[in-house]
Amino acid sequence: MKGYEAFHGGKFDHKIEFESPRDRSGHGTHTSSTAGGSFSPNVSYHGLAYGTVRGGAPKARIAMYKVCYNGGGCNYANVIMAIDQAIHDGVDILSMSLGSEPPLSPDIDFTDGGQFASLSAVTHGITVVSSAGNKGSLPQTVGNISPWMLTVAASSNDRSLPTLITLGNNRTFVVSSLTWLKTLSLTRITKHMKDVIMLCKRQYLYTGKETAFLNIQHIRYAS
């Protein structure tokens, strides 16, 4: 905790952080279960995609090293120390689900201490796996490009999870979204457009005032 406090210039905030390996947001739990979660039957997402889930290596033993904090981000000192500890513990595979925000440089970042600490792990016979990022197929969005790491991209499948929505006029639409967002006020709807039956609140992935809405005729975007 002394290193954390020195780096961030203040005391550890117990209201938003845990000193234990537990993470406030659940990201570490999520990524660990993806890597080595046990078989869990009878799972579904709101009744959809029913079946059994498991991690990539369900019989593996997991050692978790907490390097990120809810209010303090992920500093290099924590990352380097965690990798050194993993080397000392003799892990076989090191999964690092972290990275920088785009736009990213196409070259190796020689100021990134975590990248070179991972090279030390590789020289000790440890396979280092990291994510390519979450931003999709756009320029300068691929992270963790060091050649000694296995960089894993996001994937998709052809599974369709359609949901039927029937309106008050008995018109039925087939949609795929499982996320319910607040609608904008009636004042904002009538001010900018007409003949609109639903206006959805924009999500963080959209830029500026770009908002998705459902028109009587078709789905389109409004700026």
Cis amide bond preceding 103, omega within 30:
yes
Contact 185, 199 (CB under 8 A): no
Q: What confidence score (pLDDT) does residue 219 get?
A: 38
Spatial separation of the C-alpha atoms in residues 30 and 170, rounded to whole Å: 40
Beta strand 127-131 pairing with 93-96: parallel
Q: What confidence score (pLDDT) does residue 210 get?
A: 39
Spatial separation of the C-alpha atoms in residues 101 and 134, rounded to whole Å: 9
Contact 211, 199 (CB under 8 A): yes
Q: What confidence score (pLDDT) does residue 54 get?
A: 93
H or E stretch including 2? helix 2-8
Q: What confidence score (pLDDT) does residue 113 get?
A: 75
**Domains defined along the chain, listed by start:** 2-152 (3.40.50.200), 163-222 (no CATH)
- Dihedrals phi, psi of 30, to nearest 5 degrees: -60, -50
Q: What confidence score (pLDDT) does residue 134 get?
A: 74
H or E stretch including 112? none
Spatial separation of the C-alpha atoms in residues 192 and 212, rounded to whole Å: 13
The count of other CB atoms within 10 Å of the CB of residue 45 is 9
Q: Which segments in the chain show pLDDT lower than 70?
A: 1-12, 72, 103-111, 136, 156-159, 176-223
Q: What confidence score (pLDDT) does residue 68 get?
A: 82
Q: What confidence score (pLDDT) does residue 121 get?
A: 95
Beta strand 150-152 pairing with 127-131: parallel
Q: What confidence score (pLDDT) does residue 215 get?
A: 37
Q: What confidence score (pLDDT) does residue 29 get?
A: 86
Q: Which residues contact 28 (CB under 8 A, 6 or more apart)?
A: 21, 64, 66, 68, 97
Q: Which two tokens stand for residue 54?
A: 């498991």
Spatial separation of the C-alpha atoms in residues 25 and 215, rounded to whole Å: 36
Q: What confidence score (pLDDT) does residue 181 get?
A: 54
Spatial separation of the C-alpha atoms in residues 128 and 148, rounded to whole Å: 8
The count of other CB atoms within 10 Å of the CB of residue 136 is 10
